[in-house]
Amino acid sequence: MRKCFCGTMRLCSKCHKDILRKGQRYCLKCHAKNMRENRPKWSEFTDIQKRKSIARSYANTYLKRGIIEKEPCSKCGFEKSQMHHENYDKPIEIIWLCRKCHLKIHNAERETIQKCYVSNSQLCDGSETNDKLVELLEESLIMTK
């Protein structure tokens, strides 16, 4: 974050004009331009990413309208919680988790998927859930790129 010579104003990292937004690196115009250039387009999303995005959008809308009420973490009771979807086809069915518990669940899922994943996209036992595991693994590999 650059500051002007007097040390009071924060300057945009791109255009070097004053930033009026607290905690931001770019002014509003540079931020908007950066997002237009670098944010992935809807057409570039995979089917899984589209389903997730739609479910999150519905859940956030329901939360704003009061259909869903924010609750503390269902695991540890911490007040500051996040929405977790077990099934993205059911956007209202959410579990409230704090950041720590949420990461534990996703890391455990990722580890399970990676343990079961065998070369050539074939899994250990050939059950129906393997399709979902392959999907989740491919998604986690896409997200980490």
Using one digit for the tens of pLDDT, what is the confidence trace for 40-51?
898 998 898 999
> Using CA atoms, how far apart are residues 35 and 57, in angstroms rounded to an integer?
19
Q: Whole-number mean pLDDT of the chain?
A: 80
> Using CA atoms, how far apart are residues 32 and 27, in angstroms rounded to an integer?
9
Is this model's pTM higher than 0.85 or not?
A: no
CA dihedral 108, 47, 58, 103 (to 10 degrees): 20
Using one digit for the tens of pLDDT, what is the confidence trace for 110-124?
887 777 665 445 545
Residue 51 has a pLDDT of: 93
Q: How far apart are the first and last CA of the chain?
A: 27
Helices in 7-128 by DSSP H: which ranges? 28-38, 47-65, 99-116
Dihedral sign of CA atoms 90, 91, 92, 96 in order: positive
> Using CA atoms, how far apart are residues 41 and 10, in angstroms rounded to an integer?
31
Name the residue ranges covered by the structural domains of the chain: 2-38, 45-144
Contacts 24+ apart (CB under 8 A), 13-22: none
Residue 145 has a pLDDT of: 39
Check pLDDT > 60 for residue 67. Answer: yes
- For residues 82 and 96, the answer to whether their CB atoms sit within 8 Å is yes
Helices in 46-95 by DSSP H: which ranges? 47-65
Confidence category of residue 78, pLDDT binned at 50, 70, 90: very high
Encoding tokens for residue 107? 């890391």
> Using CA atoms, how far apart are residues 66 and 15, in angstroms rounded to an integer?
41
Check pLDDT > 50 for residue 75. Answer: yes
- For residues 21 and 53, the answer to whether their CB atoms sit within 8 Å is no
